[in-house]
Chain A
Amino acid sequence: MSETATPSRLRASFRARRLGRGPLAAGSWVVVALFVIVAAFGPLVVGADPARGTNDTLLPLGAPGHLLGTDDLGRDELARMVHGARPLLMVAFLSTTLAAALGIGIGLVAGYAGRWIEWGLMRFMDLALAFPSMLLIILIVSAWRPGVGSLVVGIGVALAPGLARLARALAAREARRDYVLAAKLGGTRSPRILVQEILPNIAGPMLAQVVMTLSVAAGFAAGLSYLGLGIQPPTPDWGYMVQAGQEFLYSAPRLVVMPAAATLVFVVACNFVGDDLRDALDPRSSR
């Protein structure tokens, strides 16, 4: 039965033992896990309110009661760093999910349906790709209104065409296989064929690409929140913290260095984790 075949087909192509080989890949997994843990549970551990200002402005590192000092409004920097991890992780994850849903959905339909449906859908994707992704996201976010919702939609829409192209190519190949023909002759309806027959068979390479998309999405999410197009203050966010901290480059460079370094480490680790996962999911793609 195709229902039970779904997980096993994916499992068959997944080489879990190939994960985390080498210090770099292993280290990156640890880093990403740490960031997720901090984002999830950190705010519960760090008691301070990241949005509450005090008169103790610009306290240095190690000040009593403020391990990482305070910012220009006297807000606890440790609390801001810990809370600030959430928007980045959230936007990266949600926008990748949206991109995957859109891209795989469109690609599956185009690849399976063929003819003018395929032509129309893919020319539409080409058009989106003719635009630099960053510009597309900026236009969507600013024409709507900056915030997590529009950022997720913007990044999701901008990254979907790349996934749609791959999904279309894979789906078109599968659609010609005998098992699809058998299902058609057996009277299975098209949506069912798409979801239960074709999707499980393209899941491995598709997931590998989606994982790579995650690190691209994280890069975009960080960059746009730096531009002020992400989550809005007073909710802390690393990107916006860097932008706000640039005013104090000379007096308190740590306000810029800490969130910038955290973003850099997280996105770079995402790259390695993605690369590692891709090798495990789709061994053919490894160099």
Chain B
Amino acid sequence: MNLAVPGSLRTPWMIVKRLAAVPLVMLALATMVFIAMRMLPGSPATSLAVGGGAASQSTAEEIAENEARINEALGLNESLADQYTTFLHDVATLDLGRSFYGGNDITKLLGEALPATIELTIAAMLIAVLIGMVTGVVAALRKDTWIDTTTRAIGTVSFSLPWFALGVLSIVIFGVWLRWLPVIGRIPNALDYHPFTNFVLLDAILQDRPELIWPWIKHLILPATTLALSMAGFITRIVRASVLEVLSDDFVRTARMKGLSGGAILRRHVLRNSSLPIVTVLGLQFGSLLGGSVITETVFSYPGVGNLLINGIMQRDYPIVQGAALAIALLFTLVNVVVDLLYLALDPRLRKA
């Protein structure tokens, strides 16, 4: 795994440059969504009109009729260049159109779904870091015992985990058999939640409704842990390596001589030194985490962007698919920028060079 810090981030000027790249990357991503939707074999209208393959019983006239309707709604009758201009204009003005079914404003749908996905991924990252730190430190301190071997074996698995299988099995164990945790949705309907920011924690504070918080956390635990496990494996390996490396360094010996306790050494030196690679992993793995959230949200009927995307695909609701894909790409790009900027905050060496 390449954990090298990008060499381009050396001066504050680089921060500006990095931020300036965001619109360019976004343009490229938006263009890719545009192309994916229009240039692949079979026009989207045809594939949407025929039906995604599942249960396609429509007659030829129905298909033709659907196709015409979809073509018109999407402006697919215009020239490709016109379509592209319109598309970019719509994206830039956040006017993503309305869904085929129900005629909902896509921007509004995304405004509700994005916060849910952000909550889920942040919770997953926190859990991953927590699990990874604890297991990594324990594995390093118990190096070459069975604990270490087991932890490293679990770390190997993190290359790819079938999220849906994990999620569904956790639903069966904790939801169906033990009945400890809720397995569906984000917040119970009975709670009468009136979203303002759509971030539950923020709304609970703003609207002074602390009773929202616990049910919300309970709904987050299973999906976030499911999502966190694959990332935790990476973090375990990194923390273990950092701890082993740092423990053999001179400054730890000095700290020991100064009479610092093991815990203090761990906090002050080891964790600080492993924070940079951890942030790197969080950044590198965020794309995979977002991809996993698409599946996890579907498993838990969690109302995020991934769920929106999949429902859009299943209903062949093309504007929803496009909007959700753009939102995921945007989130991905922004997180990559944040990770790059975090390097600067965490590693002073990069700042002054």
Residues of chain A having any CB pair with chain B under 8 Å: 24, 127, 130-136, 138-140, 142-147, 212, 215-216, 218-220, 222-223, 226-229, 232-233, 239, 242-243, 246, 249-250, 253, 256-257, 260-261, 263-264, 267-268, 270-272, 274-275
- Is B310 an interface residue when CB atoms closer than 8 A count as contact? yes
Of the candidate stretches B10-18, B193-201, B286-294, the one touching chain A is B286-294
Whether A140 lies near B288 (C-beta < 8 A) is no
The yes or no answer to B54 lying at the interface (CB within 8 A) is yes
Q: A231 — nearest CB in chain B belongs to which residue?
A: B53
Contacts of B53 in A (CB 8 A): 145-147, 232
Q: Which residues of A contact B332 (CB under 8 A)?
A: 130-132
With both beta carbons as reference points, the residue of chain A lying nearest to B154 in the complex is identified as A268
- B169 near A131 with CB under 8 A, answer no
Can you list, as one digit per residue, whether each of B182-196 has a CB less than 8 Å from chain A (1) or not (0)?
Answer: 010000000000000
A227 engages B54 (CB within 8 Å): no
Question: Contact: A227 with B295, CB < 8 Å?
Answer: yes
Given contacts A142-B321, A227-B310, A267-B162, contact A242 B157 (CB under 8 A): no
Q: Which residue of B lies closest to A135 (CB)?
A: B328
Indicate if the CB atoms of B163 and A144 lie closer than 8 Å: no
Q: Tell me the bound Cα distance from A134 to B166 in angstroms.
A: 17
Cα–Cα distance between A140 and B52 once the two chains are bound (Å): 12
Residues facing A in B300-325 (CB within 8 A) are 309-310, 313-314, 321, 325
Instruction: Assess A144 versus B291: contact at CB under 8 Å? Given A256-B168, A267-B162, A268-B157.
Output: no
B162 contacts A271, CB within 8 Å? no
Are B292 and A226 neighbours in the complex by a CB distance under 8 Å?
no
Contacts of A274 in B (CB 8 A): 159
Q: CB within 8 A of B291: which of A133, A212, A232?
A: A133
Between-chain CB contacts (< 8 Å), 30 pairs: A127-B28, A131-B29, A131-B332, A133-B287, A133-B288, A135-B291, A135-B329, A138-B294, A138-B309, A139-B37, A139-B325, A144-B40, A146-B53, A222-B164, A222-B165, A226-B299, A227-B164, A227-B310, A227-B313, A228-B54, A228-B314, A249-B175, A249-B176, A253-B177, A256-B171, A260-B164, A261-B165, A267-B160, A267-B165, A268-B161
Task: Let me know if B153 is at the binding interface, CB within 8 A.
Answer: yes
Q: Does B156 contact A (CB under 8 A)?
A: yes
Report A-chain residues with C-beta under 8 Å of the C-beta of B42: 143-145
Q: What's the Cα separation between A160 and B315 when bound, in Å? A: 30
In contact, A275 and B156 (Cβ under 8 angstroms): yes
B338 touches A (CB below 8 Å): no
A249 to B300 Cα, complex, angstroms: 12
Would you call A132 and B288 a contact (CB within 8 A)?
yes
Q: Which residues of A contact B44 (CB under 8 A)?
A: 143
- Please tell me which one of the listed residues A133, A146, A242, A250 contacts residue B168 in the complex, with CB atoms under 8 A apart: A242
The CB with the most chain A CB atoms within 10 A, among B156, B169, B175, is that of B156
Please report the C-alpha to C-alpha distance between residue A140 and residue B36 in the assembled complex, in whole angstroms: 7
Q: How many A-B residue pairs have CB under 8 A?
A: 161
User: In whole angstroms, how far apart are the Cα atoms of A136 and B54 in the complex?
Assistant: 21
5 nearest A-B pairs in the assembled complex, by CB-CB distance: A134-B291, A219-B160, A132-B287, A226-B164, A260-B165
A239 to B333, CA, bound (A): 30
Chain B 116-132: CB-based contact to A (< 8 A → 1; otherwise 0): 00000000000000000
B88 within 8 A of A: no
15 further interface pairs, Cβ-Cβ under 8 Å (given A135-B328, A144-B40)? A130-B29, A130-B333, A131-B287, A133-B291, A134-B291, A143-B40, A219-B162, A223-B295, A226-B165, A228-B314, A243-B164, A253-B176, A253-B177, A260-B162, A271-B159
Q: Would B288 and A215 count as touching, CB distance under 8 A?
A: no
Return the chain A residue nearest B240 by Cβ. A287
B47 located at the interface, meaning its Cβ lies under 8 Å from any Cβ of chain A in the complex: yes
B94 within 8 A of A: no
B325 touching A135 by the CB < 8 A rule? yes
A132 to chain B, nearest CB (A): 4
Which chain B positions have C-beta within 8 A of A257?
Answer: 169, 172
Closest Cβ–Cβ distance, residue A225 to chain B (whole Å): 9
* Choice from B52, B159, B172, B177 contacting A145 with Cβ under 8 Å: B52
Pair A246/B288 contact, Cβ less than 8 Å: no
Are B165 and A264 closer than 8 Å at their CB atoms?
Answer: yes
Q: Which of A131, A229, A264 contacts B162 (CB 8 A)?
A: A264
Distance between Cα atoms of A146 and B162 in the complex (Å): 19
A145–B55 alpha-carbon span in the complex (Å): 12
CB-defined contacts of A263 to chain B, threshold 8 Å? 162, 164-165
A140-B40, A229-B313 known; A242 and B165 CB under 8 Å? yes
**Contact B295 A132, beta carbon cutoff 8 Å:** no
How far does the Cβ of A149 sit from chain B's closest Cβ, in whole Å? 10
Q: Are B52 and A146 in contact (CB under 8 A)?
A: yes
Q: Is B41 an interface residue (CB 8 A)?
A: yes
Query: B160: which of A142, A146, A215, A242 is its contact (CB, 8 Å)?
Result: A215
Point out the residues of chain A lying under 8 angstroms from B153, CB to CB: 24, 272
| Closest A residue by C-beta to B160 | A219
Interface hub of B36, B162, B292 (most chain A Cβ within 10 A): B162
- With the chains together, A271 CA to B164 CA distance in Å? 17
Residue of B nearest to A221 (CB): B162
Complex CA–CA separation, A130 to B36 (angstroms)? 14
A229's nearest neighbour on chain B, judged by CB, is B313
Contact A260 B169 (CB under 8 A): yes
Q: Which residues of chain B are within 8 angstroms of A147 by Cβ–Cβ distance?
A: 53
Are A239 and B164 in contact, with the CB atoms below 8 A? yes
Q: How far is the CA of A139 from the CA of B295 in the complex (A)?
A: 14
Nearest CB on B from A234, distance (A): 11
Query: Within 8 Å CB of B328, what residues of A?
Result: 132, 135
